[in-house]
A and B are shown apart, each in its own frame.
Chain A
């Protein structure tokens, strides 16, 4: 039993992690009242940048940092258009996805077909040499456990306990009120958007350097959209968002196992299953309309003009 369970759990973690990053990033952005639909495009760009940098320098972490910077840069462009110039957030977000996907394809052209060779025990650093837990660290990529401590725990603590998190929630709830009691709404929204972009960048980096170790068009395959949907269906709560991410991961792996076991369904249909399963479960969770009403950041998607 335990023999079978461990690889399934491991592969669930592996497949769910990009959604943990992208989902939590978007969650913070949306909690500030900004709806950035450009996650997919940001992930694509992040994936290419990380792959290129990791391949040329031979250092995974430089690649991840570069992807964060690229993601933040793309979301900065989004922020300038949607926050400063108050353009329609949906339209700008969609444009960013198209732009990011195109940019990724363009930048990625020379890297198609190349493989990134890396040693997982190297990535884990000295931790893999520890007794007992050492093998766990070599099996679980550092980007996965980083997504727990530094991302999930930090995001939860930030939102639930910190003063800055309270200000962020206040801005998303009622920007006019937040402005009236003296909070820099525009600046807070900028930071939230940049954070979301950087996290999408990490998610993309993870896809190309850890999950696949190669770059190809269609690598992200709509995971950015799933991340956006996750945030909504998770009623803007980090713990639900993480659960949804691993649900998607589990379903992805389950259908892979099912395919290799030779179930007689078209593979395209099987590949669609994780998306479907995630959406169905989350819709069921979020059916309670009054819960949605209480959870949604009231100003989500609405531009704010500090001059009234």
Chain B
């Protein structure tokens, strides 16, 4: 969407000069300059930890910079709070939505409006804006009944009702199906055409090249480049983002057809939590030397499926899950580990590791076999040696065996947890979001480790929201939507559009329609 030249020549909507912000351990922003013209879609690109989030929080008044100036429409401005930012006309759509689950859409939006309007008026306004930008939403619904895509729509509508001059979108597509991403881009382009500037935060280079007119690239808190992403190659931008060439992962793509190692037959599980998803009639089977990928928008039953597999949820009928032919659904996580199933949960701090304990103790948590415990006593030297092996073989940086897990960065902790499970050579590995929030280098190492484990004859189940990741490592892909699992598609027949449609709940050949309340094509 080309801009009128006059606009570019005039003053900037937002200008940052030399913004710096330091935290005790890290310099998050180091003399950052950034300019956004009216009606421009401007990308801010960088890896996790590059300082994108801090910068956005500074613009939105949530964090105060140590140094530097913020200019809004050419005038120097102090943005001291989100309320102040909103008064100026800065709206933000958060990655982790700032919505209130137990309130309705209209109540959520009414809360954010500067004028006090009756809820009925707010509802009418919501419907107006919703139809203007093609964002259908029912003002009377409660947030907790909505899918992630719908919640994002509510956030966007909320920002739009404040008539922003600048809309900040923080990783908006990480929760959307490919089709929903296309719809979102149409909306954003219309907004920009109406004169609203957009700051688009992402690490997905393809999307940025499709949407944005300019990109500011951050690395380690510094600006490493400003470019027109439509004229740059993805590789060139990745170099600026990472500071090195991206390595390709190597894998022998020959499927050594082993025997079935894990199977689920007809798993149905009512949601135990009003915010949860009911699993219905899930069946799958993975053989040795095979990686099955499960794609889907988060909140469609991934957590519940993982809990049923890991043993966090114990089932009544033992035969629903079999590991190497043995009924296992009635076993708890320790018993399942003993017969060869390891799992890496999605939340690292809390389920995957205990933040306040050192890495060596965390290693002991899932590796409590005869090797590390004898006669009820911990063999500290063995445990420490094992933790050090995890650290060395998986390139965990930022700590040794005595460092508390919570002080590691997300990527390094994830490498440690994946390493802890893989080094125990499980027959079956279940991994959720293996590279979420992990930098590119670490992500490659983790994917490589998964493929190496597969080469040794293990069966691996990867639950991921990143389609690209599944395309890279999975032998087969199935899609979970509304608590149901589609039939799997073998590598070679992977089709982004078809998988995207399935993610919105439209399974090819599925006889029963998915639950209407949870699944909506966006």
Contacts and interface: CB of A to CB of B under 8 A. Distances in A.
B1 interface: no
A26 B253 CA distance: 63
B110 interface: yes
B99 interface: yes
A298 B62 contact: no
B82 to A, nearest CB: 5
B29 interface: no
Contacts of A260: none
B100 A174 contact: yes
Contact of A298 (B82, B92, B98, B101): B101
B86 A181 contact: yes
A308 B58 CA distance: 12
* Residue with the highest number of chain B CB atoms closer than 10 Å, among A167, A180, A181, A183: A181
A176 interface: yes
Given A166-B107, A170-B103, A293-B274, A176 B63 contact: no
Interface in B136-192: 144, 158
Interface string A292-308: 01110010000000011
Nearest to B85: A182
A293 B273 contact: yes
A176 B107 CA distance: 17
Interface string B86-117: 10000010100111111100010011100010
Given A173-B102, A177-B100, A183 B111 contact: yes
Interface string B187-224: 00000000000000000000000000000000000000
B322 interface: no
A82 B177 CA distance: 43
Interface in B29-72: 57, 60, 62-63
B100 A170 contact: yes
Contacts of A180: 60, 62, 82, 92, 94, 98
A240 interface: no
Given A173-B100, A180-B94, A180-B98, A307 B83 contact: no
B112 A181 contact: yes
Interface in A170-208: 170, 173-174, 176-184
A290 B102 CA distance: 13
A287 interface: no
A293 B275 contact: yes
Given A163-B110, A170-B103, A173-B100, A290 B273 contact: yes
A223 interface: no
A72 to B, nearest CB: 27
A237 interface: no
A181 B98 contact: yes
A163 B116 contact: yes
Given A166-B110, A290-B274, A179 B100 contact: no
A166 B111 contact: yes
B151 to A, nearest CB: 12
B103 A173 contact: yes
A181 B82 contact: yes
A308 B112 CA distance: 20
B301 to A, nearest CB: 17
Contacts of B94: 180
A290 B111 CA distance: 26
B312 to A, nearest CB: 17
B12 to A, nearest CB: 24
A8 to B, nearest CB: 38
Interface string A34-68: 00000000000000000000000000000000000
A182 B81 contact: yes
Interface residues of A, number: 23
A181 to B, nearest CB: 4
Contacts of A178: 100, 111
Contacts of B97: 177
B86 A182 contact: yes
A288 to B, nearest CB: 10
A32 B86 CA distance: 23
A7 to B, nearest CB: 42
A186 to B, nearest CB: 11
Contacts of B57: 308
Interface in B397-412: none
Interface string A101-117: 00000000000000000
Nearest to A291: B274
A295 B85 CA distance: 32
A33 to B, nearest CB: 12
A295 B98 CA distance: 19
A202 to B, nearest CB: 29
Nearest to B61: A182
B98 A294 contact: no
A184 B82 CA distance: 10
Contacts of A181: 82, 86, 98, 111-112, 158
A294 B94 CA distance: 23
Contacts of A290: 273-274
Contacts of B102: 169, 173, 294-295, 298
B177 to A, nearest CB: 25
Nearest to A181: B112
Contacts of B111: 166-167, 170, 178, 181, 183
Contact of B98 (A169, A177, A307): A177
Nearest to A296: B102
A166 B103 contact: yes
A181 B274 CA distance: 26
A180 B102 CA distance: 17
Contacts of B275: 293
A88 to B, nearest CB: 16
Given A169-B100, A181-B111, 5 more contacts: A176-B98, A177-B98, A180-B94, A293-B275, A308-B63
22 contacts: A166-B103, A167-B111, A169-B102, A169-B103, A174-B100, A174-B101, A176-B98, A177-B98, A178-B111, A179-B62, A179-B82, A180-B82, A180-B92, A181-B82, A181-B112, A182-B85, A182-B112, A290-B274, A293-B273, A294-B144, A298-B101, A307-B63
Interface of B: 57, 60, 62-63, 81-86, 92, 94, 97-103, 107, 110-112, 116, 144, 158, 273-275
5 closest A-B pairs (Cβ-Cβ)?
A182-B83, A177-B98, A180-B98, A290-B274, A181-B112
